[in-house]
Amino acid sequence: MQTHEISKRFTDHFTSNGHTPVPSASLILDDPNLLFVNAGMVQFKPFFLGEEPPPYPRATSVQKCVRTGDIDEVGKTTRHNTFFQMAGNFSFGDYFKEGAIEHAWKLVTSSQSEGGYGFDPERIWVTVYKTDDEAIELWRKVAGLPDERIQRRGGKDNYWDMGVPGPGGPCSEIYFDRGPSFGREGGPEADEDRYLEIWNLVFMQDERGELSPKEDHPPIGVLPAKNIDTGMGIERVAFLLQDVENVYETDLVRPVITKAEEMSGHRYGADPVDDVRFRVIADHARSGVMLIGDGVTPGNEARGYVLRRLLRRIVRSVRLLGVNEPVLGEFAKVVRDTMGPAYPELVEQFDRIDGVVRQEEDTFLQTLSSGSKIFDLAAAETKQSGSSVLPGDQAFQLHDTYGFPIDLTLEMASEQGLKVDEEGFRRLMTEQRQRSKQDAASRKVGHADGGAYRSILDNHGKTDFLGYQDLTTESRVVGLIAGGRPAMSAGQGEEVEVVLDRTPFYAEGGGQLADSGKIIGDGVVVEVHDVQSPVAGLNVHRGKVVSGELLLDSEVHAEVDPSRRRAVSRSHSATHLVHAGVRRALGTQAAQAGSLNAPGRLRFDFTSPGGAVPPSVLADVEDEVNDVLLNDYDVRAEVTTLDEARKQGAIAFFGEKYGDKVRVITIGDYSKELCGGTHVHRSGEIGVVKLLSEASIGAGVRRVEALVGLDAFRFLAREHVLVGQLAEQFKVRPEELPERIGQTVERLRTAEKELERLRGAQLLSSAGTLADQAEDVRGTALVALATPDGIGGNDLRQLAAEVRNRLGTRPGVVALFSADGPKVSFVVATTSAARDAGLAAGKLVPAFAQAIGGRGGGKPDLAQGGGSDAAGVPNAVIALRKAIDQAAT
């Protein structure tokens, strides 16, 4: 049975049993605790947590998931995958254990002709939580399972929670016995390779506290509604039903390996070492394409960093298979063809996906070359220091700066007879991840415990946002948080977070900055400087009590700063127009990758696999956008269904989570996007849009910055004055300025080159004098001194080489230092006779480098480096003289 058919049967089975089919969520959701969606239930978390009422009593989905915790193990085994599909059925206070067991048993064991999977009931085993007698009785009743095929297990295996206080419950897992050839008898407790888990049924009935029942701590309460959350691994079921050994041999994964075989001439299954590489390629190609499809682009942080690592591991694995030409584009095509039937967006967006992987591969091949040089230098320094272990911070730099997978560094180190301080490397990686997670969490919820926000939401419901129509409301204070804790009041001078039952204030989101303004009550004024939504549906106003005392449950007047709101709205509407203009110019591959809408200015990020956007194209976009402003189009907001919005051609964004109803912003016939932000009423209100710059902010991602409205007009006015001043200075008409300035710049460059030539000649002319001043150190001529400040590295090398040549056939060492502020550069050169006497330039560097707080290295005849303490040059000379003296004894 093909994998797509397995997914379809799952959805059909549960849809026919009253479940609402829910499409897979994006792999990236707005959750500070998750890098990627890693389980089928993630998009339903608000329903399980009680943050939002479920729109249906039962649901089913096939969710795409990515887990990267075991990324280093991928390929080494056949069990680890980064991308997988998790099919699930969910009940929100509807059916419970008996229903979940009935649905699962019927689908798993019904014949294939009846729409089931056709697993032999005699080969099915289940596990239950150790005290869950009810589940045991239901398995006997519903499935007729004998006691010997029902096993009790502890909390680590058969209890589920989210790892934090909240909902949880015992599990019942379904296993399939693959047969004696795969392991020993005894059920899942004895061998989980032979007895393979295919489905986990979670009976979500408990509320856990700080300590988890997984560790045998009792729950702190019972949930008001009992829920069901299940997860069936599509890939696991596929390799069982396709009668292959593992997931890498299934119909959606094996084609990538086949393509790698064709390109390399190697065969999967012939060499265990090559097999690891084939599996890395197959797994990471799927994950990479799926992540790019959901809007992730390669980068050096968070999600982009993971994607970059996946793609670069593919390139490295292919190189080790002997393939040197670009490969990522070819693997992406295979993934598109295999996964496209289930995820048509991969086909629709393939030009963009293809451009991203090809550019990343080109970039990596360049950094692979430069990074290898850095590695060679680090390895040389390690050996010169007498160590056989490459420091963890240098391995981390290679990983963080040059995108080297740690296994690449380990392999290269091994080739040079070195080991790597993996513990130090992983410590630095952990610190980086913790900083990223803490930063994300603090941006999301400020200083308060997320539970405080959820408590307000549970007690008072969602904030009623009236800001699309009104800039003032009469409201009630339903929540106060001061000092990170719930409060009954807040006095003058206190920083406070205020939750109102209704508000005109827009909470930051969708690239739009939050409103500011005031909350005014009986004798109290709160200046609001920020508004966030730390939990869905709740607007939290952050500000300072400037007078009086604000009381919980008091009636207040909330008013938004109208000038700021209008300025931000102009920028947001302008961003939509710039987006439309860029897409018209570059095609649909130019997808929005981020934005910032602030008073008077905007920032728009978009994918552009083709690289920089030509200035002429930007000029056309700017002209077209301002033409839309002149036409003064109507700006309309409409609430409709997501399907209807897409039919109308509205643009949706990667990573956004949309509900059943969406808001569509239409500007004339020029732009139509899904958007929850605030906008102008007519395009003419924007005034003027001036594009300032276009630049790269990462592989395949460009950024346009622009001014809007009065800020744009003022900028143009200043530019006009500046152009007038320059025209007067150069005595030309304004339109002749570019040519005249270009001529002037070229003359300056010519003059600078001539000055550089004269300076170099002057330096070289001093070589003879320096050689004549050489001191004798036990028969070795030593020239060691500081040259004039600011001499560049190239000039320093030429001068050192020329002085060395003037020393003739005698043993000689030349060490020249040049300061640039507190920093210092140096070059060491040795004559042939000195090298014969054991004085190699590269080996002399460690003798004095510490004196200037630096390091360096090189070949026996020439070495160079730098330091941070120019004041240490005299001590460095003394240390070098001592090293030569000791070498001669």
Query: pLDDT tens digits for 503-534?
Result: 999 999 889 999 999 999 999 999 999 999 98
Confidence label for 260 from pLDDT (cuts 50, 70 and 90): very high
Residue 882 belongs to some domain of the structure: yes
CA distance 576 to 571: 9
Which of 270-284, 554-568, 651-665 is least confident?
651-665
C-alpha radius of gyration, the chain, whole number: 34
Q: Is residue 598 located within the same domain as residue 506?
A: no
3-state helix, strand, coil in the chain (%, to 5): 45, 25, 30
Q: Is residue 665 located within the same domain as residue 782?
A: no
Residue 23 belongs to some domain of the structure: yes
Domain finish residue from 247, 262, 279:
247
Is 576 annotated as belonging to a binding site?
yes
Stretch 394-411: mean pLDDT? 77
Report the relative pairing of strands 58-66 and 20-21 from DSSP bridges. Answer: parallel
pLDDT score, position 444 = 42
CA distance 93 to 355: 46
Confidence label for 31 from pLDDT (cuts 50, 70 and 90): low
Report the relative pairing of strands 502-503 and 464-465 from DSSP bridges. Answer: parallel
- Percent of the residues in the chain that have a pLDDT greater than 90, as a whole number: 56
Half-sphere exposure for 342 (CA within 13 Å, toward CB): 22
Q: Is residue 572 located within the same domain as residue 549?
A: no
Stretch 299-311: mean pLDDT? 84
Stretch 333-359: mean pLDDT? 91
Stretch 631-641: mean pLDDT? 94
pLDDT score, position 403 = 64
pLDDT score, position 655 = 47
**608, 614, 619, 620: CA torsion to nearest 10:** -70
pLDDT score, position 446 = 46
Is 572 annotated as belonging to a binding site?
yes
Q: Is residue 238 located within the same domain as residue 136?
A: yes
Q: Is residue 689 located within the same domain as residue 824?
A: no
Question: Residue 447 pLDDT > 60, yes or no?
Answer: no
Stretch 40-44: mean pLDDT? 88
Q: Is residue 396 located within the same domain as residue 432?
A: yes
- From the CB of residue 610, how many other CB atoms can be counted at a distance below 10 Å? 16
pLDDT score, position 248 = 93
Look at residues 484, 514, 502 and name the one whose alpha carbon lies nearest to residue 538.
502
Is 679 annotated as belonging to a binding site?
yes
CA distance 607 to 168: 40
pLDDT score, position 437 = 55
Look at residues 672, 588, 667, 581 and name the one whose alpha carbon lies nearest to residue 618.
581
Q: Is residue 551 located within the same domain as residue 590?
A: no
Residue 275 belongs to some domain of the structure: yes
Residue-wise DSSP of 326-350 = --HHHHHHHHHHHHTTT-THHHHTH
- pLDDT, greater one: 442 or 464: 464
Domain finish residue from 689, 716, 743:
716
Stretch 254-260: mean pLDDT? 96
How many structural domains are present in the chain?
5
The CATH number assigned to the domain holding 87 equals 3.30.930.10
Residue 721 belongs to some domain of the structure: no
Stretch 370-376: mean pLDDT? 79
Residue 239 belongs to some domain of the structure: yes
Look at residues 618, 613, 608 and name the one whose alpha carbon lies nearest to residue 700.
608
CA distance 58 to 92: 6
Q: Which residue has the tokens 């007498």?
A: 386
Residue 242 belongs to some domain of the structure: yes
Question: Residue 585 pLDDT > 80, yes or no?
Answer: yes
Question: Residue 404 pLDDT > 80, yes or no?
Answer: no
Question: Residue 877 pLDDT > 60, yes or no?
Answer: yes
Q: Is residue 339 located within the same domain as residue 427?
A: yes
**Sheet-wide strand order for 661-667:** 635-641, 661-667, 671-674
Range of the domain at 201: 3-247
pLDDT score, position 443 = 44
Q: Is residue 155 located within the same domain as residue 283?
A: no
Residue 285 belongs to some domain of the structure: yes
Question: Residue 413 pLDDT > 90, yes or no?
Answer: no
The CATH number assigned to the domain holding 620 equals 3.30.980.10
Q: Is residue 130 located within the same domain as residue 264?
A: no
Are the beta carbons of 231 and 87 closer than 8 angstroms?
yes
CA distance 94 to 102: 14
- Percent of the residues in the chain that have a pLDDT greater than 70, as a whole number: 94
Q: Is residue 292 located within the same domain as residue 236?
A: no
- pLDDT, greater one: 165 or 832: 832
Confidence label for 94 from pLDDT (cuts 50, 70 and 90): very high
The runs of H, that is alpha helices, within 220-301 are 234-241, 254-264, 272-293
Residue 445 belongs to some domain of the structure: no
Stretch 376-397: mean pLDDT? 87
Q: What are the start-end ranges of the E strands in 52-165?
A: 58-66, 83-92, 124-129, 150-153, 159-161
Is 675 annotated as belonging to a binding site?
yes
The CATH number assigned to the domain holding 476 equals 2.40.30.130
Q: Is residue 777 located within the same domain as residue 860?
A: yes
CA distance 693 to 706: 7
Count, residues in the chain: 889
Question: Residue 255 pLDDT > 90, yes or no?
Answer: yes
Look at residues 388, 395, 394, 393 and name the one whose alpha carbon lies nearest to residue 418.
388
pLDDT score, position 440 = 47
Distances (CA, A) of 752 to 96, 686, 747, 756, 761: 81, 46, 9, 6, 14
Stretch 220-249: mean pLDDT? 91
Look at residues 482, 484, 526 and name the one whose alpha carbon lies nearest to residue 505.
526
pLDDT score, position 100 = 97
The CATH number assigned to the domain holding 848 equals 3.10.310.40
Distances (CA, A) of 853 to 396, 709, 871, 874: 21, 52, 10, 13
Domain finish residue from 421, 440, 459:
440
